[in-house]
Amino acid sequence: YIVGNGSNLLVSDKGYEGVIIQIYKQMNQVKVEGAQIHAQAGALLSMIAKRALDAELTGFEFAAGIPGTLGGACVMNAGAYGGEMKDVLKSGSEMKNVLVDAVLLTKDGAVIRRTGEELELGYRTSVIAKKGYIVLEAVLELQKGEKEKIQAVMDDLKERRVTKQPLEYPSAGSTFKRPEGYFAGKLIQDAGLRGFQVGGAQVSEKHCGFVINKDQATASDVMNLMNQVSDKVYEEFGVRLQPEVKRLGEF
């Protein structure tokens, strides 16, 4: 199993029977060339955003607070606050602010390069995830901007995160995918589940879209809570919530 920073993983209480390869600090080089950023898969999004800021490049501010690596972000088309990876991956020869090229490793060991369009980036999905490719590196296409304005946007997004998300507790980030036409957190709140707890796991009182480890929660606590929340929301509104958190191991 390939892991980046592990920020959206829920690992079984039984552990994982297999080999885990972490693509992280040993593959985290970042290089700025004009308006493009070439980065290896293990580079943290926050580090890439900092390099973009230093180079006065705009378009990647949304990713500054996402606690993951570039590889994982490409796999799931990570996004926040109106921006997502497909907006900044370079699109072949057309400079139109689309996710750029990615260098991938196939299951057969072949190294291939795909353009942003070929990655089929959708809401929390991609051809990388569907075909089990491993991201090695990617090229981001940004635009020249003003350092002060870029910093202001990053500061604003950071403030919104701190005030609205339960960053003071461990979590695997946003727990459920956004159902079409709805917001998962709003559905959970409207179902009366704010603060709902199973064992040490709790629906955050600060933001109902997050399941937090309130008090020594086990992975089973988190999973049981997620299942009960999903059932209750379906019962109330006829909408089935799908997990955004990835599960690893036996549940």
Q: Identify the bridge partners of residue 3 per DSSP, sorted by sequence position.
A: 22
At residue 100, the pLDDT reads 60
At residue 13, the pLDDT reads 98
Look up residue 128 and give its two tokens.
Answer: 């990388």
Look up residue 58 and give its two tokens.
Answer: 């705009």
Per-residue pLDDT tens for 118-171?
999 888 889 999 999 999 999 998 999 999 999 999 999 999 999 999 999 999
Per-residue pLDDT tens for 85-130?
988 886 544 444 445 689 999 999 999 999 888 999 888 889 999 9
- Amino acid code (one letter) for 135: V
| Catalytically active residues, by annotation | 124, 174, 244
Radius of gyration of the chain (CA): 19
Contact indicator for 212, 166 with CB cutoff of 8 Å: yes
| Residue bearing tokens 């999903």 | 230
